[in-house]
Structure 1
Amino acid sequence: MVPSRRRNENLRALLGEARWTQAALARTVNALGAEIDLELHYDRTAVAHWLRGTRPAQPVPDLIAEAFTRRLGRAVPLAAAGFADDLGGAWGDRLGGFRTPVGTWLTELCSLESDPARRADARLLPYREAELARSARSPAPEPEPETAGGADGAEGGLGVVRLAVRFFSASFDAHGGQGARSSLAAYLADDIAPLLREGGHGARRRGLLVEASRLTFLLARMHQDAAAHGLAQQHFTTALRLADASGDTTARAVVLRGLSAQGLALGHRKNALRAAEAAAACPGASDGPARAFLLSQLAVAQAACGRHRSARASLTRAEEALAAGAGCGAAEPFDAYSSGSLEFQRSEVLRYTGDLPAARSALANSLARRPSADHRGMALSHAQLGEILIGLGYVEESCVSWNSFLDHYAVLRSGAADQAAGRMRKLLTPFRKVPAARLVLQRARAVAAPSGRV
């Protein structure tokens, strides 16, 4: 901590306005740290030190400001929380590129990955719930008018970018988000952003913006997979800017869907539902599998908010959309949605409604329909099935699922899979005297040891 000579009266005033005790603020800061995979153990004595003028190390001041922002329903910058900008720029506000041209901003954001010091700082950006709310309610811009252009003007160079979308999407599914993240960031910064800065109009420009949005969306998911949720949110909102600039409503809807899924995973149910509703309501968003992709997330968000009848209706609409697009042949990653993925979402809806046996059946269907090369999806599905089974009291049967999880986990570099492995150990440890559970725990240690995973 950095000592200061002044008492922090701003912080004291905010505590009074929020009607929080010092212990309540400490608990909230700890919870916000957990959102970005940062383990904090502050208590009321730490808050007392802050009130006396001690400045905690970064990113804690940003977490404190975010805590009051959520509590009071208005933006609380660092200075308002009593943390003067003595570090050459408010740390938590250094990444905020809405006033910067999108090509320039994409370079700045993606270049963080190649700078170890800045990457470490950016990874600790707090997740901002107000940003999720702002994205959910932001109106879709009017698309720019069509302009004349030949075939080369429309497609020149886009084929290579689409190949990159396919490659990085397949890499994420097969290996998790930690493998190709730096490569994707470098490709966006060094190849895509300069093309965006060239400006221009017409079909080729719009196509480039759509593909850039998709690549940025994939990078956001990679950061989300590593539990760097604040940084992932920055990439999601940048992908939204790119989609909006293209005028492609489906591209916009896909990003809103991603923002909804991230927010729901972090417990921000109401705003996650608003984002899912905004995604499903995008005018002209594609039918078929892409439509099913949007409606399935809407169903999960509705179920999480207790709207069970609406969730079932949305699932039915998703099934109809998927069936309508069947038999259309091979599709690009952002145009495809599998029945296995839809069954996974169905299991999520059923878990929120409390029907664990039905959720178990849906997950079994999901696993039967997923391609074996989708190691990340298979691993997380087996992990969820294991958690459901142990919740139902089927310890030995859960171990079968956990063993299948480990088959896929062994080839992954995925933070989400690491977290699932941690939950597995926690759930199975009380049953370590059961032979099947003991063998799974032993195997988990053997799988984790070569890579140094805990």
Structure 2
Amino acid sequence: MTEHISSLDDQFGGRATRPMAAAFLVNTIAPYLKAQASDPVRNAMLSAAADHCYLTGYMAMDEREDGLAQRYYLMALDLAGRAGDHLTYCTTLRGMSVHAVDLGHGAQALRRAESAGSASPQAGPRMVAFLVGQKAHAAAQTGDRAGALVKLRQAEAAMEKAESRAKAFGSYDPSSLSYHVAQVRYELGDVTGSIESLEEADRLREPVYRRTRVRYNSMLAERKLRVGRLEEACLSWHKVLDDYVQVKSGRCDDRIRYMVSALHPHKENPLARELNERARPLVRTLG
């Protein structure tokens, strides 16, 4: 059930799917956790519950319900710890790092990412890439250029090893790594390089990740506008709007609001004016 809801979240966003996840947690998972069971079965249930709480926290973050997201993450850590589930424990810590870096708290994000790495000392190469890529992003946000670049090289080396194996870890893949390369480049001042890496991430991304496309293509458009590529930015934003109408996400809403604000100084440009006209009905629904 958690995997099914996660797939829906990728396509439609946290606001559309978190109520389902929360209801399943209250009505199904909680009663099961009270049932009598052998230790292996109980640990397996605790582990599954921890994974579900982690996902629900991620969806709350996507809604911009930041305090609620933290409460779900702490619940996931508690359940994973009781289950002895190091994988979900470190994945949750990494999720908390992603949340912190998204809010601009680089030092806290780095501490969480380092803790996640410590919680999984025997990780395979894909898990290493999953964790170290986040460390690189957080380090770059703190201004640690040398540390960020070292961690990025470590993530790239780990991903090369991982790609020779059949099983992926969650959704962390070469597209995700390209996104981390883009974020490190951007935090270190290389806007043009970050654009190239975001374009690479878009080429590699599986089509099911609609919410991710909205967010990352929005970043791509914003950065193209920043370096004076207005027409390319408008084309990227049109792709964003193609997907946005099917997504319910606070983070995506933020990007649409930013788009409208960023276009205002360019209202005399025909492409910008056309894009603004297309976006206007959607913006009215945001409040």
Q: TM-score of the superposition, structure 1-length normalised?
A: 0.61
Partner residue of 1:397 out of 232, 235, 245: 232
- Does the aligned pair in 2 maintain the 1:290–1:336 contact within 8 Å? no
AA paired with 2:286?
R
SS of residue paired to 2:15: coil
Offset at residue 242 of structure 1 (A): 1.1
Unaligned ranges ≥5, structure 1: 1-163
Partner residue of 1:414 out of 240, 249, 252: 249
- Does the aligned pair in 2 maintain the 1:227–1:416 contact within 8 Å? yes
Does residue 243 of structure 1 match 2:76?
Answer: no
Unaligned ranges ≥5, structure 2: none
CA deviations 1:161-217 (Å, max 9, x no partner) are xxx122111111110001121111011111111121225453322222222111111
- Does the aligned pair in 2 maintain the 1:406–1:447 contact within 8 Å? no
Work out the CA distance in 2 between the residues paired with 1:216 and 1:421: 28
CA deviations 1:351-385 (Å, max 9, x no partner) are 11000011010000000011122111111111000
Does residue 370 of structure 1 match 2:205?
Answer: yes
- Does the aligned pair in 1 maintain the 2:73–2:92 contact within 8 Å? yes
Higher-RCO chain (CA-CA 8 Å, sequence separation at least 6):
2
Aligned counterpart, 1:286: 123
Work out the CA distance in 2 between the residues paired with 1:225 and 1:276: 19
Aligned counterpart, 1:433: 268
AA paired with 1:288?
P
Partner residue of 2:277 out of 442, 445, 454: 442
Aligned counterparts, 1:287-436, within 5 A? 287-331=124-168, 335-436=170-271
Work out the CA distance in 2 between the residues paired with 1:286 and 1:432: 51
Does residue 173 of structure 1 match 2:173?
Answer: no
Work out the CA distance in 2 between the residues paired with 1:173 and 1:447: 21
Work out the CA distance in 2 between the residues paired with 1:197 and 1:343: 43
Does residue 267 of structure 1 match 2:100?
Answer: no
- Does the aligned pair in 2 maintain the 1:399–1:440 contact within 8 Å? yes
Offset at residue 401 of structure 1 (A): 0.8
Offset at residue 286 of structure 1 (A): 2.7
AA paired with 2:200?
N
- Does the aligned pair in 2 maintain the 1:290–1:335 contact within 8 Å? no
- Does the aligned pair in 2 maintain the 1:322–1:337 contact within 8 Å? no
CA-atom RMSD, angstroms? 1.6
AA paired with 2:34?
R
Does residue 184 of structure 1 match 2:21?
Answer: yes
Equivalenced residues, count: 287
Offset at residue 278 of structure 1 (A): 0.6
Larger deviation, residues 256-265 vs 348-357: 256-265
SS of residue paired to 1:393: coil
AA paired with 1:411?
Q
CA deviations 1:58-108 (Å, max 9, x no partner) are xxxxxxxxxxxxxxxxxxxxxxxxxxxxxxxxxxxxxxxxxxxxxxxxxxx
Identity fraction in percent: 31
Q: TM-score of the superposition, structure 2-length normalised?
A: 0.95
Work out the CA distance in 2 between the residues paired with 1:235 and 1:223: 8
CA deviations 1:237-274 (Å, max 9, x no partner) are 11111111111212111111111111222232222211
